[in-house]
Amino acid sequence: MSTAQGARARARAEVTAAIKEAARRQLAEEGAARLSLRAVARELGMVSSALYRYFPSRDELLTALIIDAYDSLGVAAERARDAAPDAAPVDRWTAVCEAVRGWALAHPHEYALIYGSPVPGYSAPETTVPAAARVGLVLIGIVRDAHQGPGLSLPPLPADLRPEAARIAADLAPELPAEAAAALVAAWAQLFGLVGFELFGQFNRVVEDREAFFRHAAGGLARQVGLADG
Amino acid sequence: MSTAQGARARARAEVTAAIKEAARRQLAEEGAARLSLRAVARELGMVSSALYRYFPSRDELLTALIIDAYDSLGVAAERARDAAPDAAPVDRWTAVCEAVRGWALAHPHEYALIYGSPVPGYSAPETTVPAAARVGLVLIGIVRDAHQGPGLSLPPLPADLRPEAARIAADLAPELPAEAAAALVAAWAQLFGLVGFELFGQFNRVVEDREAFFRHAAGGLARQVGLADG
DNA sequence: CAAAAAAGAGAGCACCGCTCTTGCTCTGGG
DNA sequence: CCCAGAGCAAGAGCGGTGCTCTCTTTTTTG
């Protein structure tokens, strides 16, 4: 067995998991700014210096939580994508958008951690990139399916954006037309604008029925990326 | 004279301004999380406790900076709106969007302060609301002008959103049709999604020519709120 | 001119991230 | 089997933080 590495390694993995769990709880309750290594250690009945055997700094612990958060959001998006594989692309799109919103509302501090302001002195290491890409890949996949199925309806690009759109398409989804790739990236960013504004209180006293409003806006994003209208 | 209140009041205003200025400098250099009352006091040659005569807490100082940032962004948007009062609404719209982006790129930490994650466990007090509304009012004004001039072209609303859209219109811009008000709020949030993603690094390795990309996306937002296409 | 209000200075509290040293325990190679 | 070394927890301590309290000085005001 590969896990037969010994009791020591298993204990280390367990303590690491316990630290992350406690930290995630504190993060959910207090927010990233208030997450304290000493408090985590206290909760686990250790002394603060012992924690440094597992995470070399508070920022490293935060990075681990960031990756977990990206993964958790990615899983939520993937589940929504796979829930109704035969539905119309526009419905799958809005389902994924609503899953993103739902995850954000359920994990506001984790959402703030990954899509809010970068917390510490600029540490967004490369290791977070694959996890961060997951939800984007889900969106790309839906548009790709639609492109290979019912097709996309998109206006042509202005000349000055054509090279950039081609570059984006080449990097992101070579099988998609350039205008779809560009629209997709814009819609991706705009989706998180909608979610972030609701979550961070900008919609207070402005939008009441946020569910309905978001569903409508997500449908607009779907139209924007060329998914056929209902 | 109203300023003849005495040397004491004037001195107080000057010290308050100096504190805010030093804090703004630190904010621009280090970010909100690293802004330290003690460091501000040190820079001003005072002792930290003296600072509490001017701001009752670190959060109050941050709130003052938040209001200033909202105002600064609002002024930038208003200037862009007024730069070409006779231009087509769609061009004035994109000009304002580009002004918002330009301000954000020039003041990243201040942008993060007002549109990033809410910093500690603190919620923005009521006093920030009017300042926060300025840039929104600019966008509303442009659409209102277009509505009273060349007119708007918008698809009808789905039935389930109609009451919410009417409520939004009533609160925000009673002279606008409900579908314009709803589209406006969505575009407003989406604009800041675009800006935030660029600023917080989500476009790294994805979008290269961000200027062109943003101009195109802002044009899409203009279409979305019903402004006539070029 | 005296009382009151405002302001600054300093000490101090409780917390923070992080480092260093000191022991203890577990593990693996001779 | 045994012991050197690795892994780990604990404690003390450094410099930093926000904030409070007291004391003194200065300025305004009745």
Say if pTM beats, i.e. exceeds, 0.85: yes
* Through-space separation of residue A49 CA and nucleotide C19 C1' in angstroms: 9
Return positions of chain D under 7 A from a protein CB: 7-13, 16-22, 27-29
Residue A208 is classified by DSSP as S
Cβ proximity of A189 and B202 under 8 Å: yes
Residue of B nearest to A133 (CA): B202
Please report, in tens digits, the pLDDT of each residue of chain B (230 residues total). 333 467 778 999 999 999 999 999 999 998 998 999 999 999 999 999 999 999 999 999 999 999 999 999 999 999 999 999 999 999 999 999 999 999 999 999 999 999 998 755 556 678 899 999 999 999 999 999 999 999 999 999 999 999 999 999 999 999 999 999 999 999 999 999 999 999 999 999 999 999 999 999 999 999 999 997 75
Reported confidence tier of residue A127, pLDDT bands at 50, 70, 90: confident
Q: What are phi and psi of B108, to 5 degrees?
A: -60, -40
Q: Which residues of B touch A193 (CB under 8 A)?
A: 189-194, 196-197
Residue B4: per-residue pLDDT: 42
CB contact under 8 A, A190 and B194: yes
The residue-averaged pLDDT of A215-220 equals: 97
* Through-space separation of residue B77 CA and nucleotide D21 C1' in angstroms: 46
Tokens of B160: 């389930």
Which nucleotide lies nearest residue A51, CA to C1'?
A: D9
How many Cβ atoms sit within 10 Å of the Cβ of residue A121? 10
Which nucleotide lies nearest residue B41, CA to C1'?
A: C8
CA dihedral (B69, B70, B73, B78) in degrees, to 10, reads -140
User: Tens of pLDDT along A89-121?
Assistant: 999 999 999 999 999 999 999 999 999 987 655
The residue-averaged pLDDT of A122-146 equals: 89
Residue B230: per-residue pLDDT: 54
Residue A1: per-residue pLDDT: 38
User: Tens of pLDDT along A51-63?
Assistant: 999 999 999 999 9
Residue B5: per-residue pLDDT: 60
Is the CB of A204 within 7 Å of strand D? Answer: no
Cβ proximity of A180 and A152 under 8 Å: yes
* Alpha carbon distances (Å) from B133 to A66, B47, B51, B75: 32, 36, 30, 12
Instruction: Assess whether pLDDT exceeds 90 at residue A23.
Output: yes
Residue A2: per-residue pLDDT: 36
CA atoms within 13 A on the CB side of B46: 17
How many Cβ atoms sit within 10 Å of the Cβ of residue A114? 26
Residue A122: per-residue pLDDT: 52
Q: For A84, left (φ over 0), alpha (ψ -120 to 50), or beta?
A: beta
**Separation between Cα atoms, residue A10 and residue B152, nearest integer Å:** 65
Residue B32: per-residue pLDDT: 92
Instruction: Assess whether pLDDT exceeds 80 at residue A168.
Output: yes
CB contact under 8 A, A196 and B191: no
Instruction: Please state, rounded to an integer, the average pLDDT across all residues of chain A.
Output: 93
Residue B127: per-residue pLDDT: 87
